[in-house]
Amino acid sequence: MLIGVIADDFTGASDIANTLAKGGGGSPGLATTQFLGIPSGRASADCQAGVIALKSRSLPPTEAVSQSLQALAWLQEQGCRQVVFKYCSTFDSTKEGNIGPVGEALADRLGVRGVVACPAFPAAGRTLYMGNLFVEDVPLDESSLRNHPLTPMSDSDLRRWLRAQSRHPVGFVAWPRVRGGSREIAGQLRECADAGQVLVVVDALTDGDLLAIAEACADAPLVTGGSGIALGLPRNFHRSGLVDGTHRAFRPAKGRAAILAGSCSRATLAQIAEHEKRHPVLRLSIDEIIRGLVTPVDVVAFVERHEGSAPLVSTSQPPAEVRALQDTYGADKVASAVDALFARSASLLASRGLARLVVAGGETSGAIVSALGFESLDIGPEIAPGVPAVSSGDGRLALALKSGNFGQFDFFTRALAILEGAA
């Protein structure tokens, strides 16, 4: 294994697995496998990039650090040459969050400083300038992420955000330095390391910036960021002559399909509204789910009643409504109720011959793939930037696992077509 990734949620793992499998900068990608949790056995010999999907994004720092260090130990056992800590391109993390603690713990274990921290993903509209993260042309703290029900982002300056989370000083490489190219970036990172700065926020506005950052990190034991940070990493290994072997094949599937949406993001709400113009949609009340008035049997019945019509089941509600429910029941109870409903529903549907499944929402995706019991997923074609088609190792089920804010307006119908094998 050349590259080992520790991802803090399931859709984020699919996101960076897609980037590694696709490659960039004129270079092909790597044979990539996504592991659902820390594997119990060794990776296959043809796995060039292994992506471990944890469900640690919302965990307290101590728990997230423990899980991440366990994942690092497994990756080191596979002989991986470079480790990537992957978090969300919108940096979903409160000031008491775990991105800083996990990044520093991995750096301490690997004995490194001057570690890149760059969540930028220009293809999805996430850019970093003067340490501030933008969503399209809007600062993060003025975007819809300011009202995220779990990780409200009230400050777009990631330098301040990371300083609040970190024990060590946080460094910074500004965009004019990044535009100087990979040698300039590498020199800046060395200066940060010499100054005792462990994590270093690095600006990026374009894919070219990400390729330059990746080239500067060709020999770095650790890199952290969003999936965009991996854009140029496969090219480093192709240039060094270390890549051989072939990709494992994604297996499309025909037959029964379902869409389960638990995300409350603005993008997902718009995608549901678009899908509802032509396809059946069942909107569930979270309040009724918590009170036990809606069950997985109801979800399965709706999907099977509308077989062949791309049925969608949604618990997605505007952020203000979700916050009101959290005030009434508690955030953990709201999240666990939705995740449990969809996890059980997906298991029942799979046992009854479901062939294609599209899921919207990182936490929802994590709950579902855990319930389905898959150990790994093979990475297939890209559906949208950051969202690949994947198939279970046994080929029984093809899936699309979408983070809430990702995807085109017609994402759901597009995903079902690609899972079936359409170009």
- Check whether domain 3-239 has CATH 3.40.50.10840, yes or no: yes
Does 247 score more than 60 pLDDT?
A: no
For residue 265, name the pLDDT band (cuts at 50, 70, 90).
confident
pLDDT by residue (tens digit) across 323-371?
Answer: 888 889 998 898 899 999 999 999 999 999 999 999 998 888 888 988 9
Q: Helix or strand or coil: residue 162?
A: helix
Q: Which residues make beta-bridge pairs with 401?
A: 359
Q: For the residues 110-135, what does the mean pLDDT come to?
A: 94
- Domain at 257-419: CATH architecture: 3-Layer(aba) Sandwich (3.40)
Residue scoring higher pLDDT (191 or 246):
191
Q: Is the dihedral of CA 148, 98, 74, 385 positive or negative?
A: positive
pLDDT by residue (tens digit) across 178-217?
Answer: 999 999 999 999 999 999 999 999 999 999 999 999 999 9
Task: Let me know the angle formed at the C-alpha of 88 by 344 and 332, rounded to the nearest 5 degrees.
Answer: 45
Helix and strand numbers, DSSP H then E, in the chain: 15, 18
Give the Cα separation of 140 and 127 in Å (integer).
10
SS3 of 334-374: HHHHHHHHHHHHHHHHHHCCCCEEEEECHHHHHHHHHHHCC
Does 138 score more than 90 pLDDT?
A: no
pTM of the shown model = 0.78
**Element at 269 (helix H, strand E):** helix 266-276
Going from N- to C-terminal start, the domains of the chain cover: 3-239, 257-419
User: Which pLDDT score, from 0 to 100, does residue 356 have?
Assistant: 98
